[in-house]
Structure 1
Amino acid sequence: MRADAKKNYDHILAVAREMLTGNGANASLRDIARKAEVGDGTLHRHFPTREALLEALLREGFEDLARRASELEQSDDPRNALVTWLREATTVTHNYSGAIASMVSAIADENSALHTSCVMLRTAGAQLLRRAQAKGAARMDMDGNDLFALISALAWLAEQPPLVPRADHLFDIISGAILTSEQQ
């Protein structure tokens, strides 16, 4: 990529990150292009669809979460490792409010621009879950798909204004339902 194209790409991502986090999840690609001070054509050359832009934004966070899962696999406490990662994954996902529905759809759609990143996230969590299950720390009737769904649900709950004050409590209830009372 040419230096000027890379600069535009990075700038568009920075503006999109700012606009799509928090309450700006519904910002249009046109609004992002305007705020980035690039033409619609420039934005669409880099990100032909909103989903492609979301993928570029989420990929780095999901790659970090996959690395974090690998680190946590070394922990002596698989129960704590799973809950720590679940909390971090929920936070990263919640940072892009409005992307949750796209993520849930993308996991089953191999043609989605988000598919690979979402599968990476699901796989990282599934590894921690299986490790916790092997140690008797997590219920056996769950898999990575269930964990991915719970991350999505927790992130969605945390963006509902009446539930924001209860988000940590709800996280504790859901993570408690994943864990078992016994650990081998």
Structure 2
Amino acid sequence: MADGKAGEPRRPRADAARNRDRVLEAAKAVLGAGGPRASLEEVARRAGVGIGTLYRHFPNREALFEAVYRREVEQLVELADQLSDCPDPVAALRRWLRANVEFVATKKGMAAALAIAAGSRTALTTYTADRLTGAVRQLLDRAIADGAVRDDIGPGDLLRMLVALCYGSDAPGWQEDVLRLLDVFVDGLCRGR
């Protein structure tokens, strides 16, 4: 498909792009709550599209799960970029880490389905690690340069801590506990607070 210029792919129609975005947003909610057995019909219904539209964009459940996952990662990268202008580098770092708790909540709901997509799991894991490490690095480096946080911690340390907190419990209310502990951790990183 070309848009008139040789070799250039045609951009999706605006309504097709909107439908895809609505499906991804609905899938995040449905899959995050229902896990790998969540109904794709429910995703389509919540998005306000027919099941055929869902399958036109995502040929199978794993493709939908992976698209939701990648979209969440990109939203976290974009958030880090937006927060890089925040006057308080510690508040920016804290806000970004807190946003990751919601991402992990979605990911927990989709974990089994993501495991099904084993062929792309290594690529997806590498992609996620690279993108999130780069995002948190820019916020952490800024906080360190400002003298606001300790300089003996790296982006990998922050991500490992976040994973440990988020996957430490599946009990109801785990997100609130993680957010509280996350605040304690960030406060412990700060110099002179």
TM-score (norm 2): 0.64
* Residue deviations 1:57-89 (CA, integer Å, cap 9, x gap): 133332222222122222232112111111122
Q: Aligned partners of 1:53 and 1:26: how far apart in 2?
A: 11
The 1:137–1:55 alpha-carbon spacing in structure 2 relative to 1, beyond 3 Å, is farther
Match of 1:156 in 2: 167
Q: Is 1:128 the counterpart of 2:139 in the alignment?
A: yes
What is the percent sequence identity of the aligned residues?
Answer: 30
What are the equivalent positions in structure 2 for 1:1-184 lying under 5 Å apart?
Answer: 13-22=24-33, 24-27=34-37, 31-32=39-40, 36=44, 38=51, 43=55, 46-47=58-59, 50=62, 52-99=63-110, 110-112=122-124, 114-157=125-168, 159-161=170-172, 163=174, 166-177=177-188, 179-182=189-192
SS at match of 1:98: helix
CA 1:34/1:180 → structure 2, altered by over 3 Å: closer, same or farther?
closer
Q: Which has the larger radius of gyration?
A: 2
Q: Cα distance 1:8–1:181, how it changes in 2: closer, same or farther (>3 A)?
A: closer
- Contact 2:81/2:135 (8 A) holds in 1: yes
Q: Number of aligned pairs?
A: 171
Cα distance in 2 for partners of 1:165, 1:124 equals 24
Q: Within 2, Cα distance between the matches of 1:147 and 1:100?
A: 21
TM-score, normalising length from structure 1?
0.67
